[in-house]
Amino acid sequence: MVDKKQYIIRLAEDRDIRQVAEIDQEAFSEEQLFRSYGSYHREIHNPLARYIVACTEEEHEPNVNKQTISEIPWYKRLFTYDHHNEQTRNEQYILGFAGLWIMPDEGHITALGVRSNHRRSGIGERLLISLIDLATQLNIKTISLEVRASNEAAQPLYRKYGFQAIGRRPRYYSQTGEDALLMSTNTITSAPFQARFQQLKEAHQRRWKECSVTV
Ligand X SMILES: CC(C)(COP(=O)(O)OP(=O)(O)OC[C@H]1O[C@@H](n2cnc3c(N)ncnc32)[C@H](O)[C@@H]1OP(=O)(O)O)[C@@H](O)C(=O)NCCC(=O)NCCS
Which residues in this chain contact ligand X in the complex, by CB under 6 A? 27, 112-114, 119-125, 145, 147, 151-154, 156-157, 160
Given the complex with ligand X, which of 34 and 88 has the nearer CB atom?
A: 34
Given the complex with ligand X, which of 43 and 125 has the nearer CB atom?
A: 125
- Spatial strand order in the sheet of 7-11: 164-173, 178-184, 142-148, 106-114, 92-103, 49-59, 7-11, 211-213
Q: What phi-psi label fits residue 142: left (phi over 0), alpha (psi between -120 and 50 degrees) or beta? A: beta
Nearest residue to ligand X, by Cβ distance, number only: 124
- Half-sphere exposure (Cβ direction) of 111: Cα atoms closer than 13 Å: 28
* Residue 13 Cβ vs ligand X, minimum distance, rounded to whole Å: 21
* Residue 10 Cβ vs ligand X, minimum distance, rounded to whole Å: 17
Given the complex with ligand X, which of 156 and 177 has the nearer CB atom?
A: 156
* Residue 27 Cβ vs ligand X, minimum distance, rounded to whole Å: 4
Angle between helices 37-44 and 17-28 (to 10 degrees): 110
**Which residues are marked as active site?**
146, 158
